[in-house]
């Protein structure tokens, strides 16, 4: 009795799974719909060519032919978007409870009117004005000219004297100061006023007369 129970149970489960798969496939097939349509102007009912027909939020779409005819396969409940240059955009929601798997539709689009900014046309200037404008024309430097100016020695010197130290230089200065203080921890730090080298340099400058007041050579 036990031997015949398990094979029967497995067979019943297999049949139920097969029926569920068939039902799911039937539901998916019922949701698929093929749309055959034409896009036309709302005022003259002319076919609009090259209209982009896409499904919203999906990477799916097509475009209309020279007569405005298009065909697309999607699901019921999707939103079709119609876009064309010079026409107002349109959206169409496919009903979810529509019967069958094929529908035909006509989508009308209205022309989009837009206005350009005012443009004023002047006569050509005289020859003298053209020459003056050409001479006084200032053309912005290109990348090569900017690089040449930035690599100039005088420019580099000016930048090195005026720019502020960055984070790396500030860190090195603080570390050097801390190392100098740590080297003379617990003792008097040396002073330049007691340095014999500095005094020797001062005496030599005094002998040369570097501190003498220069007399004015201007004659009245």
Residues 135-158: tens digit of each pLDDT: 888 888 888 888 888 888 888 888
Q: What's the angle, vertex CA 84, arms to CA 82 and CA 90, rounded to 5?
A: 30
Give the separation between CA 74 and CA 51, rounded to whole angstroms: 18
Checking if the pLDDT of 51 tops 80, the result is: yes
Domains located in the chain, CATH noted:
12-109 (2.60.40.1120)
pTM over 0.85: no
pLDDT of residue 220: 45
pLDDT of residue 108: 94
What mean pLDDT do residues 160-182 have?
82
pLDDT of residue 25: 45
Q: Which residue has the higher pLDDT, 20 or 87?
A: 87
Strands 32-41 and 102-109: parallel
């Amino acid at each position: 009795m036990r031997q015949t129970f398990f094979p029967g149970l497995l067979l019943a489960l297999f049949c139920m799974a097969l029926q569920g798969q068939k039902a799911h496939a039937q539901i998916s097939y019922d949701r698929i719909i093929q749309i055959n349509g034409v896009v036309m102007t709302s005022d003259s009912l002319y076919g609009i060519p090259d209209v982009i027909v896409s499904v919203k939020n999906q990477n799916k779409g097509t475009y209309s032919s020279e007569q405005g005819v298009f065909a697309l396969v999607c699901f019921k409940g999707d939103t079709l978007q119609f876009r064309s240059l010079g026409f107002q955009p349109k959206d169409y929601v496919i009903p979810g409870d529509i019967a069958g798997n094929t529908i035909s539709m006509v989508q009308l689009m209205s022309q989009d009117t837009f206005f350009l900014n005012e443009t004023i046309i002047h006569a050509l200037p005289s020859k003298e004005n053209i020459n003056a404008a050409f001479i006084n024309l200032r053309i912005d430097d290109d990348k090569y000219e900017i690089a040449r100016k930035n690599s100039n020695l005088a420019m580099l010197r000016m930048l090195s004297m005026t720019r502020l130290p960055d984070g790396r230089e500030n860190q090195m200065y603080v570390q050097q100061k801390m190392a100098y203080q740590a080297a003379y921890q617990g003792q008097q730090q040396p002073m330049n006023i007691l340095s014999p080298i500095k005094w020797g340099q001062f005496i030599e400058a005094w002998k040369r007369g570097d501190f003498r007041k220069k007399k004015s050579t201007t004659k009245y």
